[in-house]
Amino acid sequence: MTLPPFDLHRATTVEEAGELLGRYGDDAVVYCGGTELLLLYKLGFAFYGHLVDVKPIEELAGIQRENGTVVIGATATHREIERSPVVLDAIPALAEMERRVANIRVRNVGTLGGNLCFSDPHSDPATFLLAAEAGVECRQAGAPARRLPIRDFLVGPHQTALEAGELLVSVRVPLPPAGARIVHRKLAFHERPAVTVCCLARVEDCAVAEARIAVGSVGPVPVRATEAERALTGKPPDDGVALAEAGALAAEAARPVEDANGSVDYKANLVRVLVARTFREATA
């Protein structure tokens, strides 16, 4: 497979990227890691005559701690996040999740911002960030930045809340509450995950004081299973009946769709099993 010819433009500021995107209109697309975009080119599923490379934009780079939040630039690669001293110190579960993304080749090139903007339904980071109650910062050329939670950013399969000419600048991940543990697990039969589950749990006085459950890779978008969370809150962490109920509620919230990974019933069962395993690990 070969790539069709295109023009590559390297932007050094958000304003320059916005100008290029405006100049070439529907024939232009943002390019960063390219792990998803160039694959679509090779397969003939998409083509744009102009690629706007945003990797040189300093505003989109870096990983830093800001009060109780880890701020990750949109152009940070999965490998950079996996090995970042800031992430390893503040949110080690995030580094562990990134360590399991795809393969080393993809992690060296692919970026967190590109992963989220592509909004592939089969994605590790989106599920983790949903359970972590992360948010994103976006900005258009010449306009102030706007922030929105990750649940509002991911609109649907390959659809986000980005406006025309707007760039994802950074991902903001709050530190887990004191005493809480967050665990991300997945099952994968091929390169992409068939189911991803992320649970955050905080136990006080032998009862679940806080529970967060996010499920992805089985439906159109990752979701927070709020009804499942309520089923666990206030119960002993080893309550098997509550865990079974939470798994069933999470499977329903995930809205599984049939695909190459299995039927709706099969994928719902995967969710039930993985929710129970992951929550038990988070409360161990």
In sign, the C-alpha dihedral spanning 45, 50, 55, 60 is negative
Fold exhibited by the domain 62-174: 3.30.465
Radius of gyration of the chain (CA): 19
Q: Please count the CA atoms within 13 angstroms of the CA of 33 that sit on its side-chain side.
A: 24
DSSP single-letter state for residue 163 = P
Phi, psi of 265 (to 5 degrees): -65, -40
Residue ranges per structural domain of the chain: 7-52, 62-174, 181-282
Q: Is the pLDDT of residue 1 over 70?
A: no
| Cβ atoms of 17 and 30 closer than 8 Å | yes
Tokens of 200: 């955050």
Q: Is the pLDDT of residue 3 over 90?
A: no
Q: Is the pLDDT of residue 191 over 80?
A: no
Tokens of 8: 């590559």
Could you tell me where the beta strands, DSSP code E, fall in the chain? 7-10, 28-31, 50-53, 63-66, 69-73, 135-139, 146-149, 154-156, 159-160, 167-174, 180-187, 195-204, 207-216, 223-224
| Count of other CB atoms within 10 angstroms of residue 39 | 12
Residue range 38-82, pLDDT digits in tens: 888 888 888 899 999 999 999 999 999 999 999 999 999 999 999
Q: What is the pLDDT of residue 94?
A: 98
Summarize the confidence of residues 151-167 as an average pLDDT: 96
Residue range 203-259, pLDDT digits in tens: 999 999 999 999 999 999 999 999 999 999 999 999 999 999 999 999 999 999 999
User: Which CATH number applies to 7-52: 1.10.645.10, 3.40.605.10, 3.40.50.720, 3.30.43.10?
Assistant: 3.30.43.10
DSSP characters over 93-136: HHHHHHHTSS-HHHHHH-BHHHHHHHT-SS-HHHHHHHHTT-EE
H or E segment to which residue 80 belongs: helix 78-83
- Counting residues of the chain whose pLDDT is more than 90, the rounded percentage is 90
| Cβ atoms of 180 and 202 closer than 8 Å | yes
Summarize the confidence of residues 159-165 as an average pLDDT: 95
Strand 154-156 with 159-160, pairing: antiparallel
Summarize the confidence of residues 117-125 as an average pLDDT: 94
Calculate ∠ Cα 178-151-86, nearest 5°.
45
| Cβ atoms of 28 and 21 closer than 8 Å | yes
DSSP single-letter state for residue 266 = H
> Taking Cα atoms as reference points, which of 128, 266, 139 lies closest to residue 199?
128
In sign, the C-alpha dihedral spanning 15, 10, 154, 222 is negative
DSSP single-letter state for residue 283 = T
Question: What superfamily would CATH give domain 181-282?
Answer: CO dehydrogenase flavoprotein, C-terminal domain (3.30.390.50)
